[in-house]
Amino acid sequence: MKRGIPMNKDVGDKCIFCFRDTSFGSGRFVNRIPASDDEYDGWACPECMAYECDRCNKPIDLDCDIDWEDEKIHEECLTPEEYIQYEKELDP
Ligand SMILES: [Zn+2]
Ligand SMILES: [Zn+2]
């Protein structure tokens, strides 16, 4: 029985931020990086390290991203039709 040694919880192949699986075959394996914080030892998945636009693949500034259905994209990456709909949702 060890005492007094701070032990982080090992989350295995999971991302310590979102707890999604990063193991081989999960689609997150290639870009995962080792990560730990005060509580957990594990991995950081690519999504938690950076937001990339699902359409143009460029990084998105935190306050410029929008959730569009299940995509995370730049406002300017919306099509004109989608943009109209987006504006409506912002200001119904
Ligand atoms: Zn994650
Ligand atoms: Zn974009």
**pLDDT tens, position by position, 69-86:** 889 899 999 999 999 999
Q: Which residues have CB less than 5 Å away from ligand 2 (the ion)?
A: 53, 55-56, 74, 77
Cα dist from 3 to 6, 7, 60, whole Å: 8, 10, 44
What predicted TM-score, i.e. pTM, was given to this entire model? 0.50
For the CA atoms of the chain, what is the radius of gyration? 18
Hey, how many other C-beta atoms are within 10 angstroms of the C-beta on 13?
Answer: 15
Q: Indicate the SS3 state at residue 47.
A: helix
In angstroms, what is the span from residue 8 Cα to ligand 2's centroid? 37
Please say if the pLDDT value at position 36 is more than 60.
Answer: yes
Dmax over CA atoms of the chain, in Å, equals 63
Q: What contacts 41, CB < 8 A, 6 or more positions away?
A: 8, 9, 10, 11, 16
pLDDT of residue 5: 62
Neighbours of ion ligand 1 (CB under 5 A): 15, 17-18, 45, 48
| Confidence band for 66, pLDDT divided at 50, 70 and 90 | confident
- Closest ligand relative to 77 C-alpha: 2
CA of 46 to the centre of ligand 2 (A): 17
> So what's the pLDDT on residue 67?
87
Mean pLDDT of the chain: 87
